[in-house]
A and B are shown apart, each in its own frame.
Chain A
Amino acid sequence: MINIVLLAFLAIISLAIVRIRNLFAVVMLGGIYSLLMASIFVILDAVDVAFTEVAVGAGISTILMLGTLALTTSREKIPMHTPLLPLIVTFITGAMLVYGTWDIPAFGDASAPANLHVAPYYLERSMVETGVPNVVTAVLASYRGYDTLGELTVIFTAGIGVLLLLGRRRETPASASEQKVAASGGTGRSDPGKETASDDGGSASKGSAT
């Protein structure tokens, strides 16, 4: 029963996100969507995933989206093309996904492949081998340590990428010399001696800035 209510809410919110043009409301609805999704994860007994979904989906990404909206506008543009092609693509993808669910074993089926492969080993041995009662932590940090290292590298790379793309621009010698030429009303055809001089000035100002 509660599953049906939550899924109905999810469907309503997705439709609202598609319909609403005010991006501020869309971001807020996205946060609510994450919160409902986390409730579903709790019902499925996946508390760690629910925790991550609440912290990242409903918390941080909402804040980051609001920060993005502060940089851009909060109204979505009216699309120029007809929605026919995206609609067809969505319908075909959705139909294929629904078709795919027909072969999925029933929820909690003990003979499902996912429950027969390495899961019994982790459930039986993780406490003995690692001494960590939370199996999820044991799997993430120890048995699948390589994967988590890779995930952390992805986050690291994302952070570095944002810093490189959006971080405050340092004055490079080239742009400094361009500004200098523009400021002095130069014709844009500077002789080499002038260029090296302005280059020196650029690096000096960079040194003082840092």
Chain B
Amino acid sequence: MRHHIILRVVAKLSIPFIMLYALYVQFHGDFGPGGGFQAGVIFGAAFILYALIFGLDNALKVAPMNVVTFFISIGLLLYAGVGVAALFYGGQFLDYGVLASDSVSGQHLGILLVELGVGITVAAVMIAIFFTFADRGR
């Protein structure tokens, strides 16, 4: 696909907006439709589009495989870590109410962090799966 100039230009233009939209879906999930899962998939799609247009080697320079696998576990650890942090603050596992001074803002903080963890892991898993498939095909 390296010689298709229209694809290259359009992809280059749209990838930043795809990522920005993913962040919007991620952090606006509390107020509108969306959340960590959808945001992670959209964010991963930006990397997949890059890999499709510019080739796997260039994509691996942007997101090396060991970094991607690192983020796979970071997201899950963040989710579980919020639960454990709630334990240390004297609540129950994944009971976010104790994370901040009052219960409602604690819940809000917990939901935000947990959704972020979901987004990170989903995006990293999608990127990793696609890169693995594409790597097999060479």
Contact = CB atoms under 8 A, between A and B. Distances in A.
A4 to B, nearest CB: 25
A159 B72 CA distance: 8
Interface string A10-53: 00000000000000000000000000000000000001101110
A134 B29 contact: yes
A146 B86 CA distance: 13
Contacts of B124: 159
A55 interface: yes
Interface string A119-133: 000000000111111
Interface stretch (A76-84, A137-145, A174-182): A137-145
Interface residues of A, number: 44
Interface of B: 25, 29-38, 41-42, 44-45, 48, 52, 69, 72-73, 75-76, 79-80, 83, 94, 96, 103-105, 107-108, 110-111, 114-115, 117-118, 121-122, 124-126, 128-130, 132-137
Tell me which of A142, A166, A168 has the highest count of chain B C-beta atoms within 10 A of its own C-beta.
A142
B97 to A, nearest CB: 8
A64 B130 contact: yes
What are the 8 tightest A-B residue pairs by CB atom distance, in nearest-first order? A159-B125, A67-B133, A47-B33, A145-B94, A130-B107, A55-B41, A141-B111, A131-B104
A96 interface: no
A7 interface: no
A133 B32 CA distance: 8
Contacts of A146: 94
Contacts of A55: 38, 41-42, 45
B33 A163 contact: no
Interface string A159-199: 11011001110000000000000000000000000000000
B35 A141 contact: yes
Given A63-B130, A149-B83, A166-B133, A132 B108 contact: yes
B31 A134 contact: yes
A155 B134 contact: no
A137 B48 contact: no
A140 B137 CA distance: 37
Contact of B72 (A52, A68, A156): A156
A70 to B, nearest CB: 5
Contact of A60 (B44, B69, B111): B44
A3 interface: no
Contacts of A166: 132-133, 136
